[in-house]
Amino acid sequence: MRLGIIGLPQSGKTSLFNALTGGEAPVTAGGHGQETHVAVVKVPDVRLDRLTEMFTPKKTTPAEVHYLDFPSVGFGAKDRAEVAWVGQLRTVDALVVVVRAFEDESVPSDGPVDPVASLEKVHLDLVVADLAVVERRRTRLESDLKKTRTADRGPIEAEIALFEGFQNALEAGTPLRAVDLSEDQLRDIRGFQFLTLKPTLVVVNLGEAQLGDSAAHESRVREAHAYPKTLVASLSAKLEMELAQLDEADATTFMVDLGVTELAAGKIIRQSYDLTGLISFLTSGEDEVRAWPISRGDKAPAAAGAIHSDLEKGFIRAEVVAYDDLMAAGSMAEARKRGHLRQEGRNYVVLDGDILNILFSR
């Protein structure tokens, strides 16, 4: 999963990037720059720890999240470097939009600090970027229509109507994820990689003194930006960045003192999984214990394909045991004895935490 972190200058998005990744990317005073920071984070999963204790494998491999921290500039400029990074932003699976709520005299602000107003500015930039793509596509389609025989115009006219609807929605400030689209339509427009179609997690960046009112801050932003595939979270990015750079014992002590129950890395990853519809199934054995991310609703052959394409092609069946059932049994042999290890075919929908062993023909 690739998550793109964006926000206005001084929103604290690079501090959040450092908090999520344990990194030390420079937090610039001006908030502008053309460098995109990239890091890979192992997804925390206590189930892997328990399975590792049970199977003592040669290695344990968590799922991964790729974070990309993009420059704090508007999308409307014509700078060539900016065009390049906006193109890269279109390739991510979901957006993490950081909006500032903290007050700090040492961190300049262009006007009053207002997370809702900041979110609206970012949202407008995303809308404008998508609108440019839609307008170019409509112009191309209308040109093609003039060259097409009447009998063959149906598909082009249908696409023009679809993109006209997109244009109307965007001009009204509505993101494309709020437009009702069929699975076929979503598949057909996938290549355009619309920014406002991407699932979006809004992170309200609070000051340490505001943490006690986090629910109220989240509620205000959520009500102002009530669109589908949109979640709102809050944290103090500066505090989380400092905690992420401590050793585990010191971090735990400070978390208890500050009333922080979970670090940003786990919270943001969990919410991103929910937002993008991902789950993890597991494989276990003496060689490796591993988590594999797939889409919620995927069937057993697709899960096999996540491991290797040959397993999907030659899929016969899957041996499946739920994680909780295995833990209750204490061993795979006992789970089999209790009837918890079952055989499932091609139509089985894999559940989060399922432990799979794929049987296939070579």
Beta carbons within 10 angstroms of residue 176's beta carbon: 22
CA dihedral 339, 341, 342, 343 (to 10 degrees): -140
CATH number for the region 127-195 comes to 1.10.150.300
Residue position matching structure tokens 């400070």: 254
pLDDT 10s digit of each residue in the chain, 362 long?
Answer: 899 999 998 899 999 998 888 876 666 544 445 578 899 988 889 999 999 999 999 999 999 999 999 987 665 545 555 567 888 899 999 999 999 999 888 887 777 899 999 999 999 999 999 999 999 999 999 999 998 888 888 999 999 999 999 999 999 999 999 999 999 999 999 999 999 999 999 999 999 889 889 999 999 999 999 999 999 999 999 988 888 888 888 888 888 887 777 777 788 888 998 899 999 999 999 999 999 999 999 999 999 999 999 999 999 999 999 999 999 999 999 999 999 999 999 999 999 999 999 999 98
For residue 319, give both structure tokens.
């041996």
CB 300 within 8 A of CB 350: yes
Per-residue confidence (pLDDT) for residue 246, from 0 to 100:
85
Per-residue confidence (pLDDT) for residue 29, from 0 to 100:
46
CB 134 within 8 A of CB 156: no
Query: 299: which strand partners?
Result: 349
Q: Residue ranges per domain, the chain?
A: 2-44+62-111+198-275, 127-195, 297-360
Say how far apart CA 299 and CA 346 lie, in whole Å. Answer: 7
The model's pTM is 0.87
For residue 159, give both structure tokens.
């696409």
Say how far apart CA 101 and CA 246 lie, in whole Å. Answer: 25
For residue 139, give both structure tokens.
């112009």
Q: Which CATH architecture has domain 297-360?
A: Roll (3.10)
Beta strand residue intervals within 181-229, DSSP E: 200-205
Say how far apart CA 106 and CA 103 lie, in whole Å. Answer: 9
Per-residue confidence (pLDDT) for residue 94, from 0 to 100:
95
For residue 88, give both structure tokens.
């890269």
Q: Matching CATH topology for 127-195 and 297-360? A: no
Per-residue confidence (pLDDT) for residue 34, from 0 to 100:
55
Q: Which CATH architecture has domain 2-44+62-111+198-275?
A: 3-Layer(aba) Sandwich (3.40)
